[in-house]
Structure 1
Amino acid sequence: MEVAEPELGLDLDPDKKGRYRTERALGAGGMGIVYLAEDTRLQRQVAIKQLRKDSTSASASARIHSEAQLLARLNHSNIVQLYDVLEENGSIALVMEYVEGTTLKEWMREYSAPLKQKLDLLLQICAGLGEAHRLGILHRDLKPDNILITRNGAGGFTAKITDFGIAKSLQHEGEQITREDQVAGTVEAMSPEQLQGFPLDPRSDLFSLGAVAYELLCGARPFDGGEGGAMALAHKIVSEAHIPPQRTNPALPASLAALLDRLLAKEPGKRPDSVEQVGEALAFLQQVESDTDTREFSATVTQLLRKPPSTRRRNLRAAAGALGVAALGVAGYFAWDYATRLDPQYIAVLPVEMHGDVRGEDNAKTLTKTMVRQALMNAAAQLKASALVSFTPKDGQDFDAQLQKLRDKGVTDALFARLDCAQVRCEIELQRLNPVNSQIRQQAGFAFLVDKRQEAEYRIANSATGLFPSDYAKDTIKQIAMSERDYSDYLNIISRMESKENSKADLQRLGKLLGSYPQNPNLYRTYTQVATNLFVLTDDKADLQSGLDMLERAKARKISPILVLELELWLRTYSADKSQFDALIKQFDKQEAPSAALLAKYARYLFTQGDYESALQYAEQATALNPSADNLYLIALNHALSGNYTQARNILKKNISAHPEHWSSYSALGNIEMESGNFTAAEKAITSIPEKLRGWRTKSNLGAIYFLQGKYSQALKVYQQVLTSVPDNVPAIEQIAETYLLLGETPESISSFNRLLELTRGKKDLRSRQFRSEALANVGRIDEAILLTKDLLREAPDDTYVQYAAAQVYANAEEWRSASYHIENLLRQGMSAEWFNLPAFQQLCTQPQVSAKVRAAICD
C-alpha cells in the first residue's frame, strides 16, 4: 500500500523542535497515518499517529483527542502506551510506544503456535482489556488488527492492545463523538447490541474478545459473511448463531468451546460478567491443558476444595509444589465453573428511600422501610449463583458515593426501592442497578396498602426476583401469613438485628413464631442470624446449638433443602466439628453458589481450625473475586495469627479507611497494636467502636491494655465485667489467673487456673488446648504441660499464641533455652516486651542459657 511522504505536518513548539525525526510510514487508514520516528531526546523509537491533512471527517479530530485522553489514563504492559501529544494550529498527533512486531491478524497467518501459547496471548489481552474496564473504558473495536504482537526477552510473545480511537468512557462520556443513530466500529468486531445502537457495557467488549479468541483458536471467524458483505455479516451477528467452535476445529477441547459459546452469546446477560472472570477461566484451562487430563484435574481440584488441607506444616511444606497448583486450580476451577454456567452475582440492598408519611403505630414508617428492605433481601436469597453482600452506607453519603462503595466491594447488582407514601397507600419503584456504570438494568413498580404489609412484602420479593434473568430463579416466594401482631414483632426483631441489638428474648420470640408458622422460611433465616449474632457477642455455645436444633426441625418440616443447607453451613463455620463441616461443604459445592462466597466460608473455617496458611490462600482468592470488607478482614486475621503484624496492620488500616464502620477491623487492629506495645494506638482503635457494640472480646482487649501497662487492678475489674456477660469464658479466666499472679495473690491465681482446667477438659480445638497447657504449667503439672505443648507446636508451629504458651510452659519447667528460643521468635515477630512480665518469664533474667537479645528485651 502506498502512503504519504513521511512528514509530521506540525510546526512544533520551540522546546520540542527537532525532537522527533521521522523515518518512514508504518501504515495509513481512513483517518490518519502512523509513522515510525526517533525520539532524539530519549534516543528511542516511537510511533506517531497523525490526522491526515485532507481528513474531512467532522469527528476525526474529536476522536483522536478522545483517544489521547483515554490513553493518558491507561498504563499497562498489555496496552500500547501514550508518550506525548503534539498539537498546533488545530492539527494533532499522538506519540506512542513503538511495538516492533506484527498484528495478531498477521501473527495468526505466520505462526503455527501450540494451544498453551495461544491461551497465554488471550490471557494478556484479558489483562489489558481488564485494566481499561477497571477505569471505565470500553474499547468498542477489539479485533486482531488492533492487537500487536511482539517477541519478549523470555522467548515468548507479548500482546498489546492498540487503537482506542472509538473507545468510550463510561464515567466521563463528555461530547458525543458519534450521533445516536450512527454505529462506530468494524462490523466483524462488534457485538449484536453495538450493531443495533443499544447502550453498551463491558460485556460488549467480551463479545469482541470472543470473536478474537474464536479466530485465534479455531483458525476462522465465528460468522461467515458469505457474498453479502458487511450488511450480511451484521445480520448474522445480530440474528444467527455462530458456527460451533468444534465444527471449525474438531481438536478444540470441549471446555474451551463452551467458553467461546458463552462469550459469543447474543444477550449480554448470558456472557461472563467481567473480563477478569474470563481471564481466570483461561488461566485454569491453560493449566489443565499443559499439566494433565481435563476431567482428572477438575476432579482433583474439586476434591482439594472439599477436603481441607492438613494443618501439619511439615506435610504442607513437603507438598508446596502441589499446593501451588491447587491454589491456581481452585481459583481457576471456580472461575471456569461460573464462566460456563451462571455468572456469579453479588447483590447488595441499598437503603430504602421513602417520601411522605404513613398511618399506623408510632414506628409505622420504620416498620414499612424494614419490610421493604427485608423483602429485597429475601429476593436475593431466592436466586441461584447469588450471594447477598452486607452494605450499610455512612450517614450523609450520597447515592453516587454509595454506588462507588458497592464497586469497591465487588458488588455486581444493587437492589433499590423508592417509596412515595400518603397515609394508607404507597407507590413503590423497584430498580436493579449495575454499580459499574450506574445504569438501571430492570425496574418495576406498583402500589400497596400500608396496613397490608405482609402482602406487600410477598409481592415486593417476587417482583424483585423478576428483575433478574429467569435462569437465576429458584422458586416463587410463597406467602405464609401471620397475624398483624406477630408480623409487627417479626419486623421489630429484624430492625434490632440490623443494629446488632438483639437479646435472648428475641430468640425466644422467634421460636414461638416458628411454633405458630412452621412453614415460614424467612423465620428460619432470621432465627439463624439472631442466634449467630448472640453467639458472637456472648460466646454462649447454647445460642449456636439452638440455631442448629431449629434447622433440624426445618428439615423435618421439609423446608427448602438449599435454604437449610446454606443456614447450617453458616452456623457450622463457628463450630469445631470438622466432620460435619466437611460433609456440608461437599453438598454446598454442588449448589450454584458464587465462588467467592464458598471460598470465604472455607477460609473462615480453616481459620477457626488454626490452619492460617491455607486459610490465607482461600481468603485471598475470595477477595480477588469479591474484595469485600469481610474478606479483607479475614486476610488480615490470618496474617496476624501467623505473626505477620505489619501486613495485617496495613490491610486493616486500608479496610477501615474504605469501610469506616467495619468494627471488627478496629478490634483486630487494636489487638495487633496492643501486642506490638503501641498501647495508645490500641486504646484509640478499640474505643473507636461504639460502646454498645463492644463485645466481650473487645472488652478483654481493653483489659489486656491495662494489664500490659501494669495497671493490674483496673485490668482485673474489666476482666470480671467480661465474666459477668460470659461466665465460663476461657480466655477471660486465663487473663484473670495471670493478673492475680502479678498482684501476688497466688491462691486466687491457682483457683482460676484450676477452673480453666475443668473448662478445657476433653476439648480438641487448638485454642482450648493452648490455654490448658498454660494452666497445667502454672499448677505444677509440668510433664502434662510439656507433652501437650509439643503436640501444639507440631500442629501449628507458626501460631503466635501457641508459641507464647510454649514459652510460658518451658519457663515454668525451667527449660531456659527452649523458653528463650520461643520468646526470641515472638520478639522478632513484633510482640512487645510487656507480655513477658509474668514471674515465670522474669526468672530467665538470671539464667546464662538465655540469649542476650531476650535478656535485653524483657529484663530491667
Structure 2
Amino acid sequence: MDIADPEVTQHKAAPNTRIGSDRYRIRSTLGAGGMGVVYLADDLKLHRQVAIKKLKDDAASQNARDRIQQEARLLAQLNHPNIVALHDVLEDNGSVALVMEYIEGTTLRAWMRERSPSLQQKLSLLMQICLGLSEAHSLGIIHRDLKSDNILIAENTKGEPVAKITDFGIAKSQQLDEKTLTAENQLAGTITAMSPEQILGKPLDARSDLFSLGTIAYELLTGSRPFGKNDIGALAMANRVTNDPHTPPETAWPDIPEPLAILLDKLLSKDTKQRPQSASDVYEVLAYLIEQTLTSNSFDLSKTATLLITRPKKNQWIKLGTAIAIVALCYAGYWAINREQQPIFVATLPIKMQAADNLPEKEKEHALSFISESSNSAILNLKHTYLIRNSTESSSEIVIPTNTTDIIQPEAICDLTKCEITFSRINSKNNSIIATTKASMLSAKLYDSNSSIQLAINELFNDRHLSATPNISSDEFKRYFEISESINSGKINSENLQLLESLIYQNPDFPNGYLLFIRTAEQLFNRSNDESIHKKIEALLTHLNTSTIQKNRRLQIEAQAHIALGNGEKAEKIISTLRELGYSQPEMYTLAAKMELSKGNNSKANDYIDMAIELFPTRRNYYLKSYINYSIGNHHEAKKNIEKFLELSPDHKSGLGLLAAIDLQTGNLNNSIKSLLKISDEDRSAPNKVNLGFAYMLQKKYMHAMKQFESALALQPENLGTKINLADSLKALGMLNKANQTYESIKNSDNTSQNWKTQLFKAVAESNLGQTREATRRLHSIRKEAENDYLYRYNAAIVYLASGDTNMAEIYIEALLNEDKISPVLLRYPGFESICQSSSLNKAQIELICN
C-alpha cells in the first residue's frame, strides 16, 4: 500500500536502449516509484517523444503485472484531452510496459509549489480534472488513487496550464473483474487521497473519487491539507480521514469565497450522499464561479440563492444547467431540490459559556472547540440541511446571511468534570424558539459526549432531515450517559454492571455500551476475583455476534473483552487485524497499551499510550499513562500525571488509589493513607485495602493493618500476596499460631496460577516457618525469570535475612535503593529489622529506616 506522497525520484539515464522491436529508443529516466520506472523515449516510427512505464525487474510479481495490465485495459477505453493517452502496450517474456503520451511538464503538487496562480487558473485546472473524471466515470472506471502527484500539468500553445490525469494502476472498472488487483479488505492507494469508505474497505463508486478531488481542491485553493500534515503516520492519518472533521476551509484561507468553502465541505463529507453526485455537477459549479470571478469581485450570492430556493419548480428536479440555478446550488451545497425536499440553511452562533472559576483556560478552550466541532458535524450529517459557519467569536459582530432559515444557539455550563449543554433552534424570521434540547459532555469520555451532542441536534429536527436512525434512542442514551457518568466518578459496582447489561441486550447495536460494560466488569473482577463476571463478558461476546455493529468497532470490542479475560494472544491477533485494516482509532492504541502492560512489556505499553494520547488526550489515557509510569518505576512522572488528573476529577476512586500507591512507593505514608481514606470502605478496592494495610504496617499500626488485609481477602480470598501481609500482621501482633497457620496455608496452596509470584510468596511463607533452605531453593528456581522485578528483590531480601545470608539480602536491597524503585521507608516492614546494623547502607538510609 502506498502510504506517502513521495516526490518523483530521479535516476541516471539509460540512453540508446531499444525496446518494442526496436521501435522505441530510451533517452533517459524520468522517474521511479515503488514498482515501476518511467522512461523518456523516442517513437522512431511516428517521430515523437513518448513516456514508457515499465515494471522494475525486482518488482515483477504476478500482482504487479496484473496491475499494469489492468491499467492498460482501462486506459485503452479512455480517450480524453485531460487523461494521459495510451499509445501502445509492449509484452516480452511476461514483462509488460505501457507506451504513453509524454507530458512535458510537472506534477500538480510541484506546480503548486513553483507557481503563484490566480484563482481563475486554479478553478480552471479543477474543471479540467472534473472533465477527465467525468469521462472515466461514464465508462464505469473509478481511479481510487487521485492525488496531486497523479495530475500532470503541461502548457498548451497559448501558454495556459492543462491538467492530465495519470496513473490508473489501481483503478477499478465496475465492468471488469477486480480479483487480480487487490484482495478483499486489502487497501491499495494513498491514505491522504483515500475517501473514508475506501479506507474502511466499503464498496466504492464515483463519489469516492470526488472526495479525493476535494482533497486536491482544498490544497490547491487554500495551500493546506484538509486533515493536516502527513507526518503522523499512516494509521493516525487514516483515523483522521475516517473519524475527524476536516479543517474548515475558512481556517486555512480566511478570505475564501463562501460558495467555494461550501463546495469543499460537501466534497469532503464522510457521507457519500452529502457529496456532489457526479464530477459533471462539480464542473458546472466551478464554471459558474470562474465566470463570476471574471465579471465581479463579489461572491455575495445569498439573495439570488434565497430567491431561487423559495421558488422551486413544481415536481421537477432543478439541474445545474443555468447560471442562476448554479448560484443557488453552489451556495447551498446541494445538487437537486424539489418542493417536497425544501432545504433549510442553519447558522450557528458562538457558544455562550458559564465556566466554573477553577476551570483552567485550556480546559475551557478545549470544551468550546469540542462542542463547536461536534455540533457542526451533527448538522452537516443532516439531510437537506446546510451549515453556515460563523466566522467570529463575538455574537455582536456575527452577520446572519439573508438566506438563513434557522439559527442554533448553544449554551454550556461547565465545571471540572463536565459541561451541560443546551441547544436552541431559533426561527431566523421572527427569532422565536422552535425547539430546545440538552446534551452532556464528560471531559473524560469524549466519544460518549460526541454521541450525546449528535442525538441532541437530531432532536431539534424532524425525521425528514435525519440522515440515519441512531442505534439507540435518545431516552436510552440518556440512561446510558447517567450510568457512564456514575461509573466515571468511580462507582464501579454490580448494580451499574446490571444496568449496562440490560441496556446492551435491549440495544445490541450500541458499541459504547459494550465497551463500558467490559471496562466496568474488568475492574469489578480485579476487586473480587469473581469468575461469574468473566462468564458475563463471555456471554456478551456471544451476543455481540448478533449485532450489526461496524466490523472495526466490533473487533475493538472483542479485543477489549479478551484483554479483560486475560486472553492476551487472542487480543493481540485482533489488534493485528485492526492494524492491517488500517484502523487507527486511539482506542486501539489504548488497547495495545493495556495488552502489553498485562504481558509485562511496560516499555511497549508506554509507547502505545503515548500514541493514544497524541491522537486523543483524554483523562482516561492520562490515567493509564500514569499507571504505566508507576509500573516501570518512573514515580515522578506518574505522580505529576495523576495529580493533574485528580485536579479535574478530585473524587475519582481509581485516581486516588493510584496516587496513594505512588506515595506509598516513594515513602509518603501520611499522604498515601490520606488519599485512601477519601475512598469509603465500601468503595475501596482490594488493592487499595492492601496498600492501606501496608502503610499502617510501616507505621507499626498492626491492628489497623490486619483489619484492612482481612477485608481485602474477603474480596480476593485466593490472593497469596494479601495472605502473606495478613500473616505478617498477625505475627507482629504476637498471634503466632494464627500467623503460622496462614503461612502453612500459603505454602500448601494449590493456587492454579503457578507463576513466579506464586512461588515467591510460598518462599516467603517457608522462611517465616523456619524452612529457610526450602525457601532459598524456591527462590533460585525463579531467579532467572523474576530477579529484575522489584517485588522479587524486596521479598527475596526478606527470605535471605531470615536465613542469615545478609550479604545476598544487602545485594537486593542496594539494587532496590540505587535504582530508586522504592523508598527506604518501605524497609520498615517486619522482616527487615536486622538491616539497622548493616554497614552497607549509608547514614541517611539507616536514618529513614531505623528511626
TM score, norm. by length of structure 2: 0.49
TM score, norm. by length of structure 1: 0.49
Q: Which has the larger radius of gyration?
A: 2
